[in-house]
A = this chain, B = another copy of it.
């Protein structure tokens, strides 16, 4: 399998966006975030998504010249309208007032409406964490694949949460998880590889376990912890979607199947200024201590290592920053075709 460096990916993605009408500064910003997704191993959220985003722009479903802007502005709360542009733009913009307001107010929350799919949740929680605060991010997923608990209708999505917590010498703790047992992207990967899914990922319409990923269109994703994950998905959707006037429930557009309808995707970012609660350095040292307690604690037979949330994607990032991002042959062919179509340079 060939690889691409972060710099090659950034240049390639920005080049393609430039050819479909996205202004250069926005193209560069989104290219950087998509490349970060590839670096941390979120392979379903990086350059892999570029053909779909471009298809949506060209079909008129997404605005290439969007100007996301604040539509609500309070001392500790704000709301961004994404102007139906690339989702990364609105969510990045939302992180800024959240951080700035939390600096003076202690805590701040910024919602997004009229956004789009914005890649891996942890990117935005980490923006807050990189400013020295605790960052939390919620999103309404971009396609409904989960019914309410006991139901058959696909009214809910994988609605993810990400939380990033700064540490002192240890890596930050970064949780990033869907509220379903498996994200839909993982089902697709199983299908591509000809593997079966473990029981517990999906059920069919009679309630029986569905393990053949090729039949996933007939299937329903299951929430983590049964009714608990259903409750979390619903609540995260209310906070990231409904509260912001964004799509939730039946209004959610399946952006995999429909390139033209405005998705009105919603997200939310919370910034918590650690200093508002006490000594920030003391907090970070306590996070270090807890991280070590957990990592060094006694393991179940056969378990080689206890991981903290975010450690594995951090190791992937360190490796890929050196070795490059693996680009499977099929993906490279797709990207070459895309580049040729829009008249942009191919991925080097």
Contacts and interface: CB of A to CB of B under 8 A. Distances in A.
Nearest to A302: B207
Interface string A225-236: 111110110110
Interface stretch (A11-19, A58-66, A303-311, A325-333): A303-311
Interface stretch (A34-42, A256-264, A290-298): A290-298
- Tell me how many chains of this kind the complex includes: 2
B306 A148 contact: yes
A134 B109 CA distance: 13
Interface residues of A, number: 80
Instruction: Say whether chain A's binding surface is mostly helix, strand, loop, or mixed.
Output: mixed
A245 B76 CA distance: 23
A150 B305 contact: yes
Interface in A141-157: 147-153, 155
A286 interface: yes
A147 to B, nearest CB: 7
A272 B309 contact: no
B229 A225 contact: yes
A234 B150 contact: no
Given A107-B108, A173-B238, A175-B232, 17 more contacts: A74-B106, A77-B106, A134-B239, A147-B300, A148-B294, A148-B297, A150-B300, A150-B307, A155-B293, A165-B235, A165-B238, A175-B234, A207-B301, A225-B225, A238-B290, A245-B282, A249-B290
